[in-house]
Structure 1
């Protein structure tokens, strides 16, 4: 795809997104500052030297004697019983032998792809309509004032829709036909394009407290029009705002432990607020899970820690040594590590909220481990227990799974409810180790497929802790849960290229992992390419498909393969499941994952490194069209596509951080979406539907 502006660009003032060498993607420096505290311009926190396991296997066995992925793993690790070919091997072979179908589009995907563009708008296919459901600052609670950017206050914001909408969940509401519950994460704030007269070096208390109120989650009753895809908010007693100051309860095996106690909370069981909420999931019992991601950036003065163990722990989580970017520590001591060293340990968890009870206390589930959480989508094991898949969104960090000790109970009785609300407190936490089935020499970092025509292999889930029992030598169970990254380092987990959203397929049970990118893969002194992460300087990311033994989520072994290796289809390093690359849409930096009712995979992107706006893409996973990536929409200038929900009637997306380009301010906005000329950009939820008929 050309690097020049796309002809017909509706905003001729805009220059292309800068490809800054100090940044992990084509994101602006402004996004990097406020979203993750410039994480990608710093050294990756994972500095361990654990060897990629496939290298050991490849050196130990000749090419002729090698068996397919999971067999190699079984021979090398003694994984009992898993001695058949990789679960992914047969479909992978079909991938490599295929050149793309030319028949009728799969059900749900009958649309003309949107061309890459840099328009300051949500651009949808011909024949589709769209509507903004709710914007930053729109009323949520009774008494909320109308949004006024020049008079925004903490009191108003606490009653209004928060900033930077991300993951979304849609559930049935108890109000009857046409009403649903929409739960939305608010990942982070960008004060420079939120507040008039903002001085990054000297924020005011009102600005800081308004930002606290703009974080967290919104629970909103919405009404859907069945004759179209329109949707609008409804005033309701279930509507709720959860913010950076909402009380949360810590639960699970680490709750109450010494590492979670503070001066304000000597019990170690209650914490104020949730921060940087990104991916999430819906439980079988109707609650919503939300992952705290880049929580580290909100804290300051890690250099105050003098104990070497404390220094190691803080460094592994990327805590700033000096002042924080937002300077919150000036207004609340809990953000100052020098004054409250354990407060950062109380963030970085999976949060569970009950949207059906506006008075319930949200919970932080310590049994699920502490890291930069992306995703928490459950799947039931064959015996009815809950398996939860989670990514740690950092260069060279890991993929995790949790399996509950007890089985899920169906029904809505109080006893079943109470039982299910404990399932995420008792279980085993695992981390993944991947093994390739090709010799190391065939994985040269260029993206060239190995001789067998597929990036694939096997792997195992390594236990870290079960309840109060640690499986990691030298670490207590509490330490494993609070410093999960260090525990995974010790057991030799596989370093991945930023594992973001992780979603099990609702029918097949295969698990799909979005690996967004990793500019440091193969750099001097860094981990080199491996079969699960096969490109050096990986700018565009890839999609991994994982199938557990016997398709049981309780299995400790799995087969895997790469379905997509993203980027410009003209680039030889890209791969689209063997599909004809001349017919696919360019795609870069996959982030969020969703499935439609027909089993198609939908991908939202973040940080498109191909010079166009981010978007939403669809790709079939079976049949002759497998790998046929089609772009469904693009989001406005500077924005990221988040939280896709795909239903029979509509597609919902969250357009996050529109106008977040270098040099942009509230006085000089880089985008006027969604309100038009003379306005500042406002992150918003958008619904899209086909104007005639329901078949996409």
Structure 2
């Protein structure tokens, strides 16, 4: 252990090993130093390169089948259904063809230059400004006390906005004429080193930190659509989801022996949600949130194949909740299965503060970055999800029942039962042309075919030797058996509601190609991949298909430093440098927006938000819209381009500082000697911010 400002923390094994502006403190507190530990996936299955004499043509790889009838959520607002069908190979809906792409957006801006990682400011384009919508500690109930940085209590934090918001979305309240909305945000993890003074008792730190986890829903209001949003303290729909909040487990695992504990002998009710990262908004207006790095909260035996595959160890955790609650130590009698109760997709109804949130076992258990839903032409709901771990997999869920327009009660059951698949990618370039440097093959692109390998179909296990419940609880082990493609940390996975194509953010994998570990593949073409890439998938037929084609939209990096990059043929000297793509979103005309977590490697630049053109001669053009402050990452982008507004969650600003010596003053930036306005604090506070035109 090492002592930092009077507090005991785990050693920082990533110190000196991170590249760009990624903090080793983030590695320790967010993902339990995953990149410093052993690779969880030691299975023998590996990528298969298609080196047959007949190769897939570029045209076929980019072709598009029927996208189907889509019930859509655009820019965070639930809208009416839109039909997207195959038309002349374009894959564009009628609405999309009338103004699809970069030039059609009302949100026009001049890309900002890359910003140095030590700049403590939120940088936005000329003609735009920003302000926080809500910050860590802001009171959200009428009886909630004002935030007091040096005098925090668990009881107060339970009534205030949580810490380190990641996924966020804004849903208009029906009938409000655009003047009222709901903001959802999840709270991924805490950094007690900068949250609390060193003099605070350790038990109090743990209690407040635990209360700062979970989820929040708050009402927003504004004067009209041209004005920025503000949150409403005490609004009737405001809610905090805490470690004491009861979640219903749905699907085949509900009631199974693998999830029963002494506190829940029925195996159907779980208290709390942990490590929530990205998420998605369903066509019926609920929110999905992914439980990602839950392993870092538990002490476990660490000896079983399942423990090793999920990164569970017998060491003390960074936050040491196991000292206060026996369920966080799976060595305790009666709590052996507690770890199996996390790692799911959570669904909440933000419009009903009395509703019981759900954890859906049918989508499998792994380190979910999030889940994003599209309605296939057949009417079935399809949810895509990435497992955010080096050399892990991409998954797809297809509902058993079909979506019913306007039947919200029925639609809220769709994720409880269905089929689960894992992806296998096959490239069409000769193996010798995948050189590990990211050099484009001779056919001009990274592309190929793929298939969705079944894990669960028709309520039955498709994996030899594993029961249905085992497949869903130990999904990583089940997937290993069927031979999917090992990916470079699949994070956010977003289907486009304009084209039906699916975009996968592969953040990075610095271990690829190292001794004893899998080398470059056409779907993951760079060894020691520190900058990441974006995969574009086209389903063959509608979204329920078990076949697809794919290509890489981009291989990220900073061309000015000599990085080998690829931007779908767009000139590399005309793009904003981009590294470590994390969260994805679309604007109303189909442009892709990417938030980053890791920043352009090697040149010390801040993370940011970037727009990418997907169609026409400027396909692959990357333009940086904003940069976040020192030590922060950009999360939860919401693009309301029709109103010329963008929202982001700014996570872990000032991560490497301490309470006594802050490394950031985001978002308040109170000048020395000035009197703070109500609620302002001279300390870094994660926040959801809105960026809007100065003439608003």
1:516 and 1:590 in contact (8 A); partners too: yes
Q: Which residue of 1 aligns with 2:629?
A: 636
Distance 1:338 1:116 in 2: 48
1:390 and 1:502 in contact (8 A); partners too: yes
Unaligned 5+ segments in structure 1 are 1-17, 73-86, 92-102, 306-310
Count residues with an aligned counterpart: 628
Partner SS for 1:576 = coil
- Residue 43 of structure 1, aligned match among 15, 38, 47: 38
Q: CA deviation at 1:105?
A: 4.9
1:338-358: CA deviations, max 9, x gaps?
012100100000000011110
1:435 and 1:459 in contact (8 A); partners too: yes
1:349-388: CA deviations, max 9, x gaps?
0000011110011100000000000121100111111000
Q: Which residue of 2 aligns with 1:31?
A: 26
1:1-48: CA deviations, max 9, x gaps?
xxxxxxxxxxxxxxxxx9955448741111111111111111110111
Q: CA deviation at 1:206?
A: 2.0
Unaligned 5+ segments in structure 2 are 1-12, 62-85, 91-100, 673-681
1:24 and 1:40 in contact (8 A); partners too: no
1:514 and 1:591 in contact (8 A); partners too: yes
Distance 1:69 1:331 in 2: 58
- Residue 360 of structure 1, aligned match among 339, 355, 358: 355
Q: Which residue of 2 aligns with 1:181?
A: 182
Q: Does 1:619 align with 2:612?
A: yes
Q: Which residue of 1 aligns with 2:404?
A: 409
Kindly report which structure 2 residues correspond to 1:299-378, keeping only aligned pairs within 5 A, or say none. 299-303=298-302, 311-339=304-332, 340-378=335-373
1:107-127: CA deviations, max 9, x gaps?
346311111113211110000
* Distance of aligned partners of 1:44 and 1:429 in 2 relative to their CA distance in 1, 3 Å threshold: same
2:586 and 2:592 in contact (8 A); partners too: yes
2:168 and 2:186 in contact (8 A); partners too: yes
Range 234-243 or range 106-115, more displaced: 106-115
Kindly report which structure 2 residues correspond to 1:278-289, keeping only aligned pairs within 5 A, or say none. 278-289=277-288
2:168 and 2:637 in contact (8 A); partners too: yes
**TM-score, normalised relative to structure 1:** 0.87
1:61-103: CA deviations, max 9, x gaps?
23xx33448999xxxxxxxxxxxxxx9xx99xxxxxxxxxxx9
Partner SS for 1:522 = coil
1:671 and 1:680 in contact (8 A); partners too: yes
Distance 1:24 1:468 in 2: 44
1:19 and 1:26 in contact (8 A); partners too: no
Q: Which residue of 2 aligns with 1:84?
A: none
Q: Which residue of 1 aligns with 2:462?
A: 471
* Distance of aligned partners of 1:292 and 1:467 in 2 relative to their CA distance in 1, 3 Å threshold: farther
Distance 1:580 1:478 in 2: 49
Distance 2:42 2:450 in 1: 22
Distance 1:683 1:104 in 2: 31
Range 464-473 or range 475-484, more displaced: 464-473
1:635 and 1:655 in contact (8 A); partners too: yes
2:21 and 2:631 in contact (8 A); partners too: no
Q: CA deviation at 1:210?
A: 1.2
Q: CA deviation at 1:106?
A: 5.3
Kindly report which structure 2 residues correspond to 1:506-655, keeping only aligned pairs within 5 A, or say none. 506-550=497-541, 552-570=542-560, 571-608=562-599, 609=601, 610-647=603-640, 648-649=642-643, 650-655=645-650
Q: Which residue of 2 aligns with 1:254?
A: 253
1:257 and 1:478 in contact (8 A); partners too: yes
Q: Does 1:386 align with 2:381?
A: yes
Q: Which residue of 2 aligns with 1:206?
A: 204
Q: CA deviation at 1:689?
A: 1.1
Partner SS for 1:345 = helix
* Distance of aligned partners of 1:231 and 1:538 in 2 relative to their CA distance in 1, 3 Å threshold: same
Q: CA deviation at 1:317?
A: 0.2
Distance 2:547 2:313 in 1: 37
Q: Which residue of 1 aligns with 2:686?
A: 683
Q: Which residue of 2 aligns with 1:80?
A: none
Q: Does 1:657 align with 2:652?
A: yes
Q: Which residue of 2 aligns with 1:83?
A: none
1:289-329: CA deviations, max 9, x gaps?
100000000001424x5xxxxx1000000012211111110
Distance 2:355 2:300 in 1: 34
* Distance of aligned partners of 1:607 and 1:572 in 2 relative to their CA distance in 1, 3 Å threshold: closer
Distance 2:583 2:528 in 1: 21
1:147-203: CA deviations, max 9, x gaps?
00111111000110000011012112146221011110111111111111168xxx6
Kindly report which structure 2 residues correspond to 1:126-141, keeping only aligned pairs within 5 A, or say none. 126-141=126-141
Q: Which residue of 2 aligns with 1:14?
A: none
Distance 1:558 1:473 in 2: 25
- Residue 115 of structure 1, aligned match among 88, 113, 116: 113
Q: Which residue of 1 aligns with 2:420?
A: 429
Q: CA deviation at 1:263?
A: 0.7
Q: CA deviation at 1:692?
A: 4.0
1:106 and 1:620 in contact (8 A); partners too: no
1:70 and 1:558 in contact (8 A); partners too: no
1:197-237: CA deviations, max 9, x gaps?
168xxx62222121111111111110134353411001311
Distance 2:133 2:491 in 1: 26
Distance 1:352 1:104 in 2: 33
Q: CA deviation at 1:472?
A: 0.4
Q: Which residue of 2 aligns with 1:124?
A: 124
Distance 1:191 1:468 in 2: 44
2:171 and 2:182 in contact (8 A); partners too: yes
Q: Which residue of 2 aligns with 1:81?
A: none
Partner SS for 1:297 = helix
Partner SS for 1:396 = strand
Kindly report which structure 2 residues correspond to 1:84-103, keeping only aligned pairs within 5 A, or say none. none
**TM-score, normalised relative to structure 2:** 0.87
Partner SS for 1:207 = helix
Note the aligned Cα RMSD (angstroms): 2.1
1:253 and 1:467 in contact (8 A); partners too: no
Partner SS for 1:485 = helix
Q: Which residue of 1 aligns with 2:95?
A: none
Distance 1:204 1:250 in 2: 33
Partner SS for 1:449 = coil
2:418 and 2:459 in contact (8 A); partners too: no
2:512 and 2:518 in contact (8 A); partners too: yes
